[in-house]
Amino acid sequence: MEIRMTRFRTARSAAVAITAALLLPLAACATDNAAPAPTSTATTPISGEFDALETEFDAHLGVFGIDTGSGRTVEHRADERFAYASTSKALLAGVILATTAPADLELRIKYTSADLVANSPISEQHLADGITLREVLDAALRYSDNTAANHMFARLGGPKGVERNLRALGDNVTQMDRTETALNEAIPGDTRDTSTPRALAADLRKYLLDSALTPEARAILTDMMRRNTTGGELIRAGVPADWQVADKTGSAAYGTRNDIAVLWPPNRAPIVLTVLSTRAKQDASYDNALLAKAAKIAVQELN
C-alpha cells in the first residue's frame, strides 16, 4: 500500500501534528526500553516440495528437522502420528542406558528358540551362549534385531514401562503398546505404537545431544547408531558425504518406512532430523528414495 504525505490545512490539523510530534520521543523511549525481539527460529516454507514428494511416491510423509545451533526448523506434518516401527529401538536403548549401571551392560541374557521372532539376525546366532545387554543394544541399533528389542522391552517392564520413562523425559506424545513384531501392524488411524516427527526428534536430541544420558552412556549410543548397517539408502543418502550420521531406521506394514537421525555437519552444530512415511495399502512396498529425497530437501533448507 502506498502512503502519501499531505499538508495540514486547518488549525485543528496543525494541533494534531504538534501533539504527535511531542509524543514521538515518548514512543521512542518506550521502544528503546522494550524487551528485544527474540531471535528468529523460523520454519522454512517448503511444504510444497514435500507435497510433491508425496505425489511422486504415492505416500504420506512426515518431516521434522532442527538446526540445534540456530533453532531453525523444517516441518511437514510434524505433529501427525505415524507408526514408529523399529525407530523405537533407539528410544528403548536410550531408556536402557539411562537406567542401567555400566557394569550391568555385561549381564548375559539367556533365551530359547521360543523367544526368537522374525528378523533377528544376531539373536539367532546366540541361542547356545546367550547375549550380553551391551550386545543386545548393538544388535537392536545396528542390525534392527527384533528379539533384541524384546529383551529390552522385558527389562523395562514392557511397552508401558518404556512409555513411563518417556513421559519422565518430557515426551507426552509417543504411545507404546506392543512388542516386536506386533507393533509393526501400522494400521492407518490406529494410535497404538505411534509418535510424531517432532516428538521423536525431541527424544533423540535429549539422548544423543543433551543431558538425558551420562557422557559415557551417550558415547555408547552415539557410536552404535553411527555404525548402523541399515540406513545407507535413507537419510544418509540425502546428506553430504562428509557429514557424520547416527540413525535408526524402521519399516512396517502399509509401506511404512522411517528414519530418525542426528547429523553432524563439519564445523557446525548438529541437526536432528526425522522422516516418517506410510502408504494407503496394507501390502504396499516402500521406496528408500523417498526418505533420501526428503532428507536432501530438509538439509538444504537448514544448511
Active site residue 180: yes
Hey, what long-range contacts does 43-52 have (CB within 8 A, 24 or more apart)? 43/72, 43/73, 43/74, 43/75, 44/72, 44/73, 44/74, 44/301, 44/302, 46/74, 46/76, 46/297, 46/301, 47/75, 47/76, 49/297, 50/76, 50/77, 50/294, 50/297
The per-residue pLDDT string of the chain (303 residues; one tens digit each, 9 = 90 and over) reads 322 333 333 333 333 333 444 333 333 333 333 333 333 344 445 779 999 999 999 999 999 999 999 999 999 999 999 999 999 999 999 999 999 999 999 999 999 999 999 999 999 999 999 999 999 999 999 999 999 999 999 999 999 999 999 999 999 999 999 999 999 999 999 999 999 999 999 999 999 999 999 999 999 999 999 999 999 999 999 999 999 999 999 999 999 999 999 999 999 999 999 999 999 999 999 999 999 999 999 999 998
Q: What is the pTM of this model?
A: 0.86
Integer angstrom CA distances of residue 138 from 113, 156, 213, 262, 272: 20, 17, 17, 18, 21
Q: What is the pLDDT of residue 46?
A: 74
All structural domains of the chain, each given as residue ranges with its CATH number in brackets, are 47-302 (3.40.710.10)
Q: What is the pLDDT of residue 19?
A: 40
Q: Kindly name the residue from 49, 86, 120, 277 that is annotated as catalytic.
A: 86
Active site residue 86: yes
283 contacts: CB under 8 Å, gap ≥ 6: 253
Q: Kindly name the residue from 49, 75, 135, 180 that is annotated as catalytic.
A: 180
Query: Tens digit of pLDDT for each residue in 164-198?
Result: 999 999 999 999 999 999 999 999 999 999 999 99
Q: What is the pLDDT of residue 45?
A: 55
Distance CA 154, CA 149 (A): 9
